[in-house]
Amino acid sequence: MMTIIECKNVTKSYRSKTIFNELNFTIKENSLTGIIGRNGVGKTTLMKMIAGFVQESSGSFEVFSERPFNSLKVSSNSIFVDDLMPFPQSMTMNDILNECRRFYFRWDHDLALRLMNYFSLHPQLKIRVLSKGKRSTFNAIIGISSRSPLTIFDEPTTGMDAVVRKDFYRALLKDYIAHPRTILLSSHHVEEIEHLLEDVLLIDNHKVLFHDSITALQETFLHITGKEQLILKHISREDIIATKETGPYVILTVKNQLTDDTLEAMRKDNIRISPISANEAYVALTQRTKGGIDDVFK
C-alpha cells in the first residue's frame, strides 16, 4: 500500500513557541485517520502543513512524494475543508459548485446536488447569507463531493446541530466505502467519530503520543468495576489512571497490562472487567497530573 504522507523529524516553531518537536509518522493511501488532541496542540497547523499551506521549520515532510508547501501536485490532489474556506462572498452556492466541478477531477456533481437538497440548501442563495451551521454543511458537501485523493476535514462540523453532524458523518462514511481515498478528520467530538475511524493520530506535548488503529486505542485501557478494597487486593494504586464512584462500587480506569491470572482472580471476586471507548482512552492518555476541576474548589 502506497504511503501518501511521510513525516520525518519535523519541527515547527513560531518565534519562541514550539508547535511540534521532531514529529514522525506515515499515513497510507485509502485510510480514514482521526487527528485528535487537546485544544492548542497544533492539529490545525499539522493539517495545513499537510495541505501545503504552512511550511515546516525543519525535518522532512512529503505528501504524494513531494514537499507539500506550494506544491501544485499536492494542491490538485487534495482539499482542505474547514469553516473558513475562502469563497467569494458575492457568489451563489451554485456558482461555487460549478467552479468545483471544473477544478476537482473526481468531482461528483450529482452527489453534491443530492446532498444540497437533503440538507435543505438552496443553490441560488449567496454564500454570505448562510448561518455558521449551514456554511459548515455546504463546505462539508464540497469536501465529500470532491472525492480528492487526499481529503482533509479540520473540525468540519462547527456550528452544525447534532442531527446534521450525524448525517454528515454517515454520508462521509458511505461515500468513503464506495470510493476509497485518504481522509484526515479532526474533531473535538471524539465520541462522535470513533465509529468512523480506522486509525488515530494523537498529538500531545509537541509529539505523536499515539498512532495506531482505533481498536488498539480502545485496548490501551480497561474499566475495572467492583468494591475498591477487593480491587486493591489485585492491583496497586499506581496502576489506576482514573476513579469514578457509583454508590458502593468504584469504576477504575487502568492500563491494559494485567496478566491473565490476575484477571481471572479478579473475576472470581465478582469484579467486572470491561473495555473502554476510544474517547475514554483519549481522555486517559491526555489527562494532566494537576488534578481535576474539583481540586480548584478545595
**pTM of the prediction?**
0.90
- Which one, of 203, 219, 165, 227, lies nearest residue 36 by Cα? 203
Task: Give yes or no on whether 3-216 and 219-290 have one common fold.
Answer: no
Give the pLDDT score at 234: 92
Distance (Å, whole) CA 290 – CA 296? 10
Order of strands, sheet of 17-28, starting from the edge strand that comes earlier in the sequence: 17-28, 3-14, 58-63
Q: Burial level of 204, CB count in 10 A (0-12/13-18/19+)? A: middle
Question: Per-residue confidence of the chain (298 residues) as pLDDT tens digits?
Answer: 799 999 999 999 988 888 999 999 999 999 999 999 988 899 999 999 999 999 999 999 999 999 999 999 999 999 999 988 989 989 999 999 999 999 999 999 999 999 999 999 999 999 999 999 999 999 999 999 999 999 999 999 999 999 999 999 999 999 999 999 999 999 878 898 999 999 999 999 889 999 999 999 999 999 999 998 899 999 988 888 888 888 889 999 999 988 999 999 999 999 999 999 999 999 888 876 555 666 677 6
Strands 221-226 and 249-255: antiparallel
H-state helical runs in the chain? 43-51, 72-76, 93-103, 109-118, 132-146, 162-178, 190-193, 214-218, 228-231, 260-268, 278-286
Q: List the strands of the sheet with 249-255, edge to edge.
A: 240-246, 249-255, 221-226, 272-275
DSSP string, 47-81: HHHHHTSS--SEEEEEETTB--TT-HHHHHTEEEE
Residue 69 CA to residue 61 CA, distance in Å, equals 9
Q: Where are the domains of the chain?
A: 3-216, 219-290
Residues 15 and 79: their CA atoms lie apart, in Å, by 28
Cα distances from 181 to residues 31, 39, 70, 83, 150, in angstroms, run 7, 27, 22, 22, 6
Q: Which CATH class is domain 219-290?
A: alpha beta
- Tell me how many degrees the CA angle 287-17-183 measures, rounded to the nearest 5: 65
Q: What angle do CA 112, 168, 119 make, to 5 degrees?
A: 55
Q: Under a CB-based contact definition with an 8 Å cutoff, are residues 64 and 73 in contact?
A: yes
Helix (H) and strand (E) counts in the chain: 11, 13
Instruction: Judge: domain 3-216, CATH 3.40.50.2300.
Output: no
On whether the CB atoms of residues 74 and 51 are closer than 8 A, the answer is yes
- Residue bearing cell 490545525: 44
